[in-house]
Amino acid sequence: MANAPDTTSIAGYTIFRDDDYDSVAAISMMPRGIPHPLDQLSIKEIPAAAQLMREYASPKTLKFNCITLLEPKKNEYHAFRQGLAPRPDRRAFAIVIERETQQVTEVVANLTTEKIEQWKDVKDVAPTLTLEDLDVMERVARDDPRVIRACKEIGITDMSKIFLDAWAIGVDERWGFERRLQQGLAYYRASEFDNQYAHPLDFSVVVDTETEEVLAVDVRYVNGERTAPAFAEHNYLPQFIGDQYKHDRLKPIDITQPQGVSFRVKGNELSWAGYKMHIGFNYREGIVISDVRAHDPYEDRERTLFNRISVVEMVVPYGCPEKPHHKKHAFDVGEYGTGLMTNSLKLGCDCKGVIHYMDGVMATSSGEAAVVKNAICIHEEDNGLLYKHTDFRDGTVISARDRKLIVSQIITAANYEYGFYHTFTLDGTYKLEVKLTGMLNTYCLHPSEEAAPYGTEVASRVTAHNHQHIFSLRIDPEIDGRNNTVVESDAVPSPAPVGSAENPYGNGFLARKRPLRTALEGATDYNHETQRGWEIINPNRQHPTAKKPVGFKIVNNSCPPLLAQPGSTVYNRAAFARHSLWVVPYRDYELFPAGDYVCQSTGETNHPHNKGILDWAARDENIENTDIVCYLQFGLTHFPRAEDFPVMPAEPVSIMLRASNFYLKNPALWVPPSAICVDSQSRNAFSTACCAGSKGDSSRL
Amino acid sequence: MANAPDTTSIAGYTIFRDDDYDSVAAISMMPRGIPHPLDQLSIKEIPAAAQLMREYASPKTLKFNCITLLEPKKNEYHAFRQGLAPRPDRRAFAIVIERETQQVTEVVANLTTEKIEQWKDVKDVAPTLTLEDLDVMERVARDDPRVIRACKEIGITDMSKIFLDAWAIGVDERWGFERRLQQGLAYYRASEFDNQYAHPLDFSVVVDTETEEVLAVDVRYVNGERTAPAFAEHNYLPQFIGDQYKHDRLKPIDITQPQGVSFRVKGNELSWAGYKMHIGFNYREGIVISDVRAHDPYEDRERTLFNRISVVEMVVPYGCPEKPHHKKHAFDVGEYGTGLMTNSLKLGCDCKGVIHYMDGVMATSSGEAAVVKNAICIHEEDNGLLYKHTDFRDGTVISARDRKLIVSQIITAANYEYGFYHTFTLDGTYKLEVKLTGMLNTYCLHPSEEAAPYGTEVASRVTAHNHQHIFSLRIDPEIDGRNNTVVESDAVPSPAPVGSAENPYGNGFLARKRPLRTALEGATDYNHETQRGWEIINPNRQHPTAKKPVGFKIVNNSCPPLLAQPGSTVYNRAAFARHSLWVVPYRDYELFPAGDYVCQSTGETNHPHNKGILDWAARDENIENTDIVCYLQFGLTHFPRAEDFPVMPAEPVSIMLRASNFYLKNPALWVPPSAICVDSQSRNAFSTACCAGSKGDSSRL
């Protein structure tokens, strides 16, 4: 990038300042012409919004916690899309902290009219910890005399070898919302690239983010003794693996797309194989997929599927009840921001084939545009068999290959990484696959301690605690129109007993269906015994042959119950994780089930400025044949294995929504088969020309 | 294949006769030199075995139901492998039917000594229906006057348009084991390649396989009326789709391996990435993977994982209680033979990249070698992220790619297809993925009938009934040695209440473990609430740091409960499907949980010649720290969707076994990373040289 502007970097982001604007062609999110109403704020809009807010607040000085697109209200946007209303104004939403008083304020700036439309002070809340905020921890803790003394007591005097991962506080009764808190988990590194998670230390630190004070250094004593660090090294980087790589063992697998990709990108609008959607991004949710539509090959019209898809929360409760581990239950979306933690991706590192990248545009604390280049990866993958059938009589064989469109991002949340792969396939399926990798959170064991039952000793005197990962996927469905219903479906034996006239041989079984009528009914759980599923239907559209309402079914059998007990801190804070599914009526700007402000939250309901899923469900409003939103919880329970150390092999977990009596029939019959074989001689003896019926090169399709 | 022998074809197989043997280099299963003791019988051994049996039986004449390798007993084989005993003799096992009396006999022929070692008559059993057997149905039924009349009554006089899918009988009280029965499900085709499943007919046929008699034509009357066929056509073959293919919509994705594959094949022994195994195949189980070992990079030795892996049974119970649908519960492994139904595969049709094929060798009813060419596909696939971690402080990024080794086969079971993908990955995981595709079994609806609640009307007046697919994966584990134990693991909250000294914040949770001690305890079920898992451990080997026995965990949350009621026909016949897991002690030649003879079985226990899982479990023998076998049930419950018609998009379901405290640490650290980036400036700003640390071409690894 010889002509790239001479940009600077803050907290890892590429920072754009006013005088950079003329040479930013490399920035994919820079609108060319008029932005789509759902486009991220651009690198020009971010500082413009900041400037409006600064002027409004003057002479107070502001720290910007976030500046992000305020999406148009649903009615406003849809009216515009249908040509019934003017283009919505561009608006920025910001959470600002007044530097002098630490007052938290929610601001809306109208960028079209250049007016501040809202300036709302909020209280008893703690905004997201940005990467800039988190950078405070290590800087101030390393110099703190109590930290230095805590290290010296266990034989460490070179403070440059001490590292502190900054985490949200989780819970700490010693302070409330009067301070923005973070905790620091301490590690040791023997050398520059040494894996610190092999050397966890026995103290933790609490810091005030705004005043940059160390409030507490909590040293753990076991039988009145400190725990000496485990100094044995466990590394995975090349400088340590060295000649243990087996370079000749795996021959290359090349994946190429000589004719390029099959999708089209226009601005941030993406179309592929009949699907159309808009790709957004923000500091908190990361990828937002909006306005998902599909061309129906049988009705020859565009049908709406989902208004908006995003991962709106997650929680990683750790299961060791001993202090300080009770404070570890990371809400990576709400406490840190999935967008803020997003990796910049590079071809060949994470995906193969031809990749289209999009950048993520966010804001620094001083209101500059902070860009993660190549934040979003859009690519295709072969997906194996789409369908196959052999007619055993005449040897007719047909098979076609499925294809994935994947919109992905990878985040680094201190030790862990999460890859989010939003995937569409040709058969009418949307799947969110999450891959968990990176590093286990570790802790030291005193010689008198065992890791069991709350952890696994992954290296000598290093324990990794039991934990869960529970994600909340928010689906704002629009199944063939706005008014939808969720129907719960249980597979049950026929009620008629074996031998009865209705069920003589006892094989009868059926789907017992129950529409979820109000929001309290909408809070429901997976049931293995009945293979419970749910369908999001449009009760106003009947499938012409199936004579059932058109729908998409939710396939989710990876939804672990929350193991923290009722009444526990996590149970209170992560109420969303108490159920596999919540369904509530749509309301503009209700997005985050653990609250808008997750840091230091207690889970209290009826909070004046921090409502969440319990509040929305408690309204117990109608959710039948109306505009609804679904929160789908999925994830896994992780009892660490030695194999997860020192770096964890990716563990996948996924959830799917599949067309179910939505299309007249198989929606992928337009896909040219990869193989057709008509051989009347034999069902198995293929002639060499058996794939000739396919138009394309069969090795490619 | 210009030089291929001039072979003939029976029931779709390539048939080799004596004079073909000199030119069979194309047959991969032809042993060159001495066969491995687990190799399939060769195309020379099959007829040699038949000849020995014919001579023994003379003057009686024999119909061969199967001729297959009798694998050596485990002790015999292992003693040989360890150099402690001589090479086991080659033995053929056959089930023969005496043509005159229809007496069923189990025969063992020693091919090394050329002696018949066993000649055991069995009774009250019905052997597998081979494809040759199934070919009887359509041939005899089409000419039957009752069938002709049944067709005429609904307006069909051209009998060449009538097709009958032959199925095992399921249940029919009118006859017992004195006859080998099959049922025929009737369809109509409007033209040569028309999809018959769009035109199911309202009668079914029962045929005696041996006498080739039509025993019954069961016509269904609704309110005293016949049901007229649905004549509307619903096709998916190119001759019908024609210009509806969208050839330009999907650009090719090419997958190439310019340096070839990373695995080595020597005879039927396969080695890849430290794994070693033997690939076998037989008429019933199809693929058999034996002697699975892995090189441990830390202990630098070969460690045993699994003695034998195969899919030993499956059942597809249909849920419509009305006659004749109560007879539909296909046991595709035991009733028809997964090997017998195997597709011949062709590059580009089903897998991509560089493929190594193996043939399947079976026997015809007259004792000739019947070969499915390219029955087994062995290939590699890229598997996305193996691991990734970004150090947020210094921008160090490392990521590596995972790789699959896949040993697969695809079968056609009349209407349905199943793809079985035995998959090994670099992280120490074995996964069996099954993809279900092909055609739904359909039936006609009388105008007075609705499809609900037992089916879905996938096209006008065509219903597809609710059904389940439950597979039984047999794992004979050898986790670091022969003596293993299965430990059940339930994720549960700490027993200490919230606020107690042991669990002050209520977040404590742990794995409650229970070793399964006897075979009755070994019959156990998945539990969603506790995220139940199982570990197959070797209690005699402790992990050095985790201080737990080494093991592999079973990950199976796709194990639907059998929905047929206790006491129902299916419940009795498919006893294996009553539990997610059965663990029994190993005994030579105990393989098939629904019995050796599944056709016409009733599920009766203590049958003199047909024992199954209930009998083995009832012995209630010790299964702790001994040689055990696990039967793992998994599958899905299928309420058909309109989208599954006329040809079904592949639906995947899988089960995994993962190293769990088996290896000292991540077993894949030897895999060269695809990307390494050391950039101390910024966590996100990659330099263009950031992948230079990788030895290979990063776009390939």
The CATH number of the domain holding residue B155 is 3.10.450.40
B436-494 per-position pLDDT tens digit: 999 999 999 999 999 999 999 999 999 999 999 999 999 999 999 999 999 999 999 99
Mean pLDDT in residue range A631-646: 98
User: A84 with A187, same domain?
Assistant: no
Residue A351: what pLDDT? 84
A348-387 per-position pLDDT tens digit: 567 888 999 999 999 999 999 999 999 999 999 999 999 9
User: Which residue(s) pair with A301 in the sheet?
Assistant: A296
- Asked if pLDDT for residue A562 goes beyond 80, the answer is yes
Q: Which two tokens stand for residue A404?
A: 């994935």
> Among A115-124, A612-621, B342-351, which is the least confidently predicted range?
B342-351
User: A502 with A626, same domain?
Assistant: yes
Q: Which two tokens stand for residue B701?
A: 């690894």
Mean pLDDT in residue range A314-320: 98
Mean pLDDT in residue range A515-537: 98
Phi/psi of residue A66, nearest 5 degrees:
-155, 150
Place of tokens 């293995």: A528
Distances (CA, A) of A72 to A38, A54, A559, B657: 8, 23, 32, 48
CB pair distance less than 8 Å for B237 and A396? yes
Helix and strand numbers (H, E) in chain B are 7, 34
Strands (E), B189-228: 200-208, 213-219
CA B622, CA B630: separation in Å to the nearest integer?
A: 13
Would you say B354 and A533 are in contact if contact means Cβ atoms under 8 Å apart? Answer: no
Longest dimension (CA), chain A: 89
Phi/psi of residue A372, nearest 5 degrees:
-95, 110
Residue A11 — very low, low, confident or very high, per pLDDT cuts 50/70/90? confident
Strand order in the sheet with A62-69: A62-69, A91-98, A104-110, A115-122
Burial class (CB in 10 A: 0-12, 13-18, 19+), A589: exposed
> Within 10 A of B301 (CB to CB), how many other CB atoms are there?
10
In sequence order, the 6+-apart residues with CB closer than 8 A to the CB of B700 are A252, A253, A254
Would you say B269 and B289 are in contact if contact means Cβ atoms under 8 Å apart? Answer: no
In sequence order, the 6+-apart residues with CB closer than 8 A to the CB of B688 are none
A329 in any annotated domain: no
Q: Is the pTM of this model over 0.90?
A: yes
Residue A19: what pLDDT? 56
> Within 10 A of B269 (CB to CB), how many other CB atoms are there?
16
Please name the member of A348, A382, A639 whose beta carbon is closest to the beta carbon of B699: A348
A168-220 per-position pLDDT tens digit: 999 999 999 999 999 999 999 999 999 999 999 999 999 999 999 999 999 99
Residue A675: what pLDDT? 82
Pairing state of beta strands A162-167 and B200-208? Answer: unpaired
Phi/psi of residue A297, nearest 5 degrees:
-70, -20
Query: Which ranges of A71-144 does DSSP label H, i.e. alpha helix?
Result: 74-81, 131-142
Q: Which two tokens stand for residue A31?
A: 């609108």
User: B48 with B82, same domain?
Assistant: yes
Closest CA in chain A for residue B271: A249
Residue A9: what pLDDT? 78
Closest CA in chain B for residue A195: B391
A616 in any annotated domain: yes
- Asked if pLDDT for residue A428 goes beyond 90, the answer is yes
Residue B14: what pLDDT? 85
Distances (CA, A) of A81 to A86, A302, A484: 9, 14, 20
In sequence order, the 6+-apart residues with CB closer than 8 A to the CB of B411 are B286, B332, B338, B341, B342, B343, B417, B418, B420
- Asked if pLDDT for residue A14 goes beyond 90, the answer is no
Place of tokens 């005193």: A446
> Within 10 A of B517 (CB to CB), how many other CB atoms are there?
16
CA A571, CA A318: separation in Å to the nearest integer?
A: 12
Phi/psi of residue A159, nearest 5 degrees:
-70, -15
CB pair distance less than 8 Å for B9 and A682? yes
Residue B348: what pLDDT? 54
More confident of the two residues A423 and B241: A423
Would you say A208 and A220 are in contact if contact means Cβ atoms under 8 Å apart? Answer: no
Mean pLDDT in residue range A627-645: 98
Burial class (CB in 10 A: 0-12, 13-18, 19+), B490: middle
Domain count, chain B: 4
Helix (H, G, I), strand (E, B) or coil at B378: strand
- Asked if pLDDT for residue A654 goes beyond 60, the answer is yes
User: B316 with B413, same domain?
Assistant: yes
CB pair distance less than 8 Å for A508 and B319? yes
Would you say B684 and A343 are in contact if contact means Cβ atoms under 8 Å apart? Answer: yes
- Asked if pLDDT for residue B265 goes beyond 80, the answer is yes
B417-439 per-position pLDDT tens digit: 999 999 999 999 999 999 999 99
Residue B12: what pLDDT? 77
Residue A23: what pLDDT? 45
> Within 10 A of A146 (CB to CB), how many other CB atoms are there?
15
CB interface of B with A, residues 668-697, below 8 Å: 668-678, 681-686, 690-691, 693, 695-697
CA A575, CA A567: separation in Å to the nearest integer?
A: 11
Residue B690: what pLDDT? 42
Residue A18 — very low, low, confident or very high, per pLDDT cuts 50/70/90? low
CA A363, CA B465: separation in Å to the nearest integer?
A: 55
B235 in any annotated domain: yes
Q: Whose CA is closest to B432, among B522, B312, B316, B331?
A: B312
Q: Which of chain B's residues have a Cβ under 8 Å away from the Cβ of A138?
A: 393
Residue A32: what pLDDT? 58
Q: Which two tokens stand for residue A84?
A: 């019934």
CB pair distance less than 8 Å for A498 and B393? no
The tally of CA atoms less than 13 A away on the side-chain side of residue A88 is 21
Active site residue B22: no
B172 in any annotated domain: yes
Residue B682: what pLDDT? 41
Q: Which of chain A's residues have a Cβ under 8 Å away from the Cβ of B412?
A: 389-390, 392, 683
- Asked if pLDDT for residue B19 goes beyond 80, the answer is no
Residue B9: what pLDDT? 78
- Asked if pLDDT for residue A141 goes beyond 60, the answer is yes
Residue A26: what pLDDT? 41
Would you say A380 and A52 are in contact if contact means Cβ atoms under 8 Å apart? Answer: no
Mean pLDDT in residue range B633-656: 98
What residues make up the domain containing A621?
A: 263-316+336-381+407-438+468-660
Q: Which two tokens stand for residue B339?
A: 């090997």
Strands (E), A179-300: 181-188, 200-208, 213-219, 254-256, 263-266, 269-272, 275-282, 286-296
A240-265 per-position pLDDT tens digit: 998 899 999 999 999 999 999 999 99
Q: Which of these three, A122, A146, A168, is where a domain ends?
A: A122
Mean pLDDT in residue range B127-149: 97
Q: Give the CA-trace dihedral at B117, B122, B125, B127, to 10 degrees.
A: 30
Closest CA in chain A for residue B316: A507
CA B646, CA B658: separation in Å to the nearest integer?
A: 37
Q: Whose CA is closest to B395, among A436, A9, A443?
A: A9
Pairing state of beta strands A549-555 and A648-660? Answer: antiparallel
Q: Which of these three, B76, B105, B122, is where a domain ends?
A: B122
Would you say A148 and A203 are in contact if contact means Cβ atoms under 8 Å apart? Answer: no
B282-293 per-position pLDDT tens digit: 999 999 999 999
Active site residue: A202, A208, A218, A332, which one? A332
Q: Which of these three, A122, A151, A186, is where a domain ends?
A: A122
B205-224 per-position pLDDT tens digit: 999 999 999 999 999 999 99
User: B156 with B222, same domain?
Assistant: yes
User: B269 with B220, same domain?
Assistant: no
Q: How many residues does chain B have?
A: 701
Q: In percent, how much of chain A has pLDDT > 90?
A: 88
Residue B396: what pLDDT? 84
CB interface of B with A, residues 517-536, below 8 Å: 526-529, 531
- Asked if pLDDT for residue B683 goes beyond 80, the answer is no
Active site residue B332: yes
In sequence order, the 6+-apart residues with CB closer than 8 A to the CB of A79 are A85
> Among A305-319, A367-381, B11-25, B603-617, which is the least confidently predicted range?
B11-25
Residue B553: what pLDDT? 98
Mean pLDDT in residue range B600-607: 96
- The phi-psi region of residue A33 (left if phi > 0; otherwise alpha if psi is between -120 and 50; otherwise beta) is left
| CATH code, domain with B451 | 2.70.98.20
Place of tokens 């028809």: B336
Q: Whose CA is closest to A544, among A648, A634, A426, A663?
A: A663
Distances (CA, A) of A624 to A70, A405, A517, A583: 28, 32, 5, 10
Q: Is A666 on the interface with B (CB under 8 A)?
A: yes
Closest chain B C-alpha to A55 CA, distance in angstroms: 32
User: B293 with B408, same domain?
Assistant: yes
Q: Which of chain B's residues have a Cβ under 8 Å away from the Cβ of A372?
A: 684
Burial class (CB in 10 A: 0-12, 13-18, 19+), B243: exposed
Would you say B474 and B309 are in contact if contact means Cβ atoms under 8 Å apart? Answer: yes
Cα(first)–Cα(last) distance of chain A, in Å? 35
Q: Is B539 on the interface with A (CB under 8 A)?
A: no
A249 in any annotated domain: no
Residue B678: what pLDDT? 66
- Asked if pLDDT for residue A665 goes beyond 50, the answer is yes
Active site residue: B133, B291, B332, B615, which one? B332
Residue A189: what pLDDT? 97
User: B104 with B136, same domain?
Assistant: no
The tally of CA atoms less than 13 A away on the side-chain side of residue B69 is 26
Q: Is B557 on the interface with A (CB under 8 A)?
A: yes
Q: Is A590 on the interface with B (CB under 8 A)?
A: no
In sequence order, the 6+-apart residues with CB closer than 8 A to the CB of A23 are A3, A4, A5
Residue A684 — very low, low, confident or very high, per pLDDT cuts 50/70/90? very low
User: A173 with A41, same domain?
Assistant: no
CA B442, CA A274: separation in Å to the nearest integer?
A: 29
Pairing state of beta strands B533-542 and B549-555? Answer: antiparallel
B17 in any annotated domain: no
- Asked if pLDDT for residue A696 goes beyond 60, the answer is no
The string of DSSP codes covering B27-52 is: -TTS-SSSPPTTSPP-TTHHHHHHHH
Residue A352: what pLDDT? 87
Pairing state of beta strands B533-542 and B485-493? Answer: antiparallel
Phi/psi of residue A638, nearest 5 degrees:
-120, 110
CB interface of A with B, residues 407-446, below 8 Å: 410, 412, 414, 417, 419, 426-428, 435, 437-439
Residue A21: what pLDDT? 54
> Within 10 A of B213 (CB to CB), how many other CB atoms are there?
14
- Average pLDDT across chain A, whole number: 93
Q: Which amino acid is at A478?
A: E
CB pair distance less than 8 Å for B508 and A454? yes
Q: In percent, how much of chain B has pLDDT > 90?
A: 88
Closest CA in chain A for residue B242: A670
> Among A46-50, A463-467, A497-501, B394-398, which is the least confidently predicted range?
B394-398
User: A588 with A656, same domain?
Assistant: yes
- Asked if pLDDT for residue B516 goes beyond 50, the answer is yes
Helix (H, G, I), strand (E, B) or coil at A47: helix
DSSP 8-state symbol, B73: P
User: B470 with B450, same domain?
Assistant: yes
Mean pLDDT in residue range A279-291: 98
A400 in any annotated domain: no
Q: Which of chain B's residues have a Cβ under 8 Å away from the Cβ of A673?
A: 238
Q: Which of chain A's residues have a Cβ under 8 Å away from the Cβ of B676?
A: 237-238
- Average pLDDT across chain B, whole number: 93
User: B468 with B389, same domain?
Assistant: yes
Would you say B675 and B397 are in contact if contact means Cβ atoms under 8 Å apart? Answer: yes
A86 in any annotated domain: yes
- Asked if pLDDT for residue A655 goes beyond 70, the answer is yes
